[in-house]
Amino acid sequence: MSNVGFRIYTRVNRPAKELVEQFKGLPAANIADEMNRLGCVDARIKPLNSTPLLGTAFTVKARAGDNLMFHKAIDMAQPGDVIVVDGQGDLTNSFTGEIMMRQVLKRGLAGVVVDGAVRDVDALRELPLAIYAAGATPKGPYKNGPGEINVPVSCGGIVINPGDILVGDGDGIVVISPPDAAVVAQKAKTKQKKEQETFRQIEAGNLDRSAYSDEAFKKMGCEFIDDYWK
Ligand SMILES: O=C([O-])CC(=O)C(=O)O
Ligand SMILES: [Mg+2]
């Protein structure tokens, strides 16, 4: 363990599949709300297509503009893993493209999240694979290393540990630590049901809007002026 910055941890402490599956179909927003609105990859990292993301983190700390360790991760990761690449947000060179993503798909991996740029995006938009990235450039990656695999990484402003559960949709990605997962999934499910009930009330025209009544606003000190703005 002496070659800091160029080393590969071969094992990942993955949570049970049943635990991960509890997040299936849950909106990232409902999960994030039940984590007090923290625990999300920031909005710089955007989905390239509408394939939902659900899996566990297989992390790569890459040298800016270099994908040697990313290539290695594709061969090491297991079905259900999401390759998370800490590219330090660097957009100078792409970290990946269509060839690598087709390989990821072939291996049955659950998706890819890159804090950096990718290329071949027109093709990536059409692949049935969840891919998130911070940008795009036709400039290709170098393949020299160094880098690390399966260490804690920084991605979109938060720490992602190997084995963390990732859930992503059109809004972005939320990261759940496995010891918190059962409680968070349960609360998010309840939240989702509550929102569905709210949608029904909107349709029926009986949603309680009293929190937004004139009286409620006056109580907050808001002034209503019965005139036009001049
Ligand atoms: O050349 C690379 O390593 C990245 C790329 O464009 C691809 O995978 O298609
Ligand atoms: Mg390419």
**SS3 sequence, the chain?**
CCCCCEEECCCCCCCCHHHHHCCCCCCHHHHHHCCCCCCECCCCCEECCCCCEEEEEEEEEECCCECHHHHHHHHHCCCCEEEEEEEEEEEEEECCCHHHHHHHHHCCCCEEEEEEEECCHHHHCCCCCEEEEEEECCCCCECCCCEEECCCEEECCEEECCCCEEEEECCEEEEECHHHHHHHHHHHHHHHHHHHHHHHHHHHCCCCCHHHCHHHHHHCCCCCCCCCCC
Q: How many residues are recorded in the chain?
A: 230
pTM of the model: 0.95
Tell me, yes or no, whether 7 lies in a domain.
no
Between the CA of 98 and the centroid of ligand 2 the distance, in Å, is: 5
| pLDDT > 70: percent of the chain | 100
Total domains in the chain come to: 1
pLDDT 10s digits, 37-62: 999 999 999 999 999 999 999 999 99
Average pLDDT on 158-170 reads 98
Between the CA of 167 and the centroid of ligand 1 the distance, in Å, is: 25
- Among the bound ligands, the one closest to the CA of 99: 1
Tell me, yes or no, whether 202 lies in a domain.
no
User: What is the pLDDT, as a whole number, of residue 203?
Assistant: 98
pLDDT 10s digits, 93-138: 999 999 999 999 999 999 999 999 999 999 999 999 999 999 999 9
Provide residues with CB under 6 Å of ligand 1.
Answer: 67, 96-100, 119-120, 140-141
- Of the pLDDT bands very low, low, confident and very high (cuts 50, 70, 90), residue 6 is very high
Its domain, for residue 82, covers 15-187
Tell me, yes or no, whether 204 lies in a domain.
no
Tell me, yes or no, whether 159 lies in a domain.
yes
Between the CA of 133 and the centroid of ligand 2 the distance, in Å, is: 15
Tell me, yes or no, whether 199 lies in a domain.
no
Tell me, yes or no, whether 229 lies in a domain.
no
User: What is the pLDDT, as a whole number, of residue 1?
Assistant: 67
Average pLDDT on 9-27 reads 98
Q: Which atom of ligand 1 is nearest to the CA of 96?
A: 4
Tell me, yes or no, whether 109 lies in a domain.
yes
- CATH number, domain of 83, equals 3.50.30.40
- Among the bound ligands, the one closest to the CA of 103: 1
Tell me, yes or no, whether 142 lies in a domain.
yes
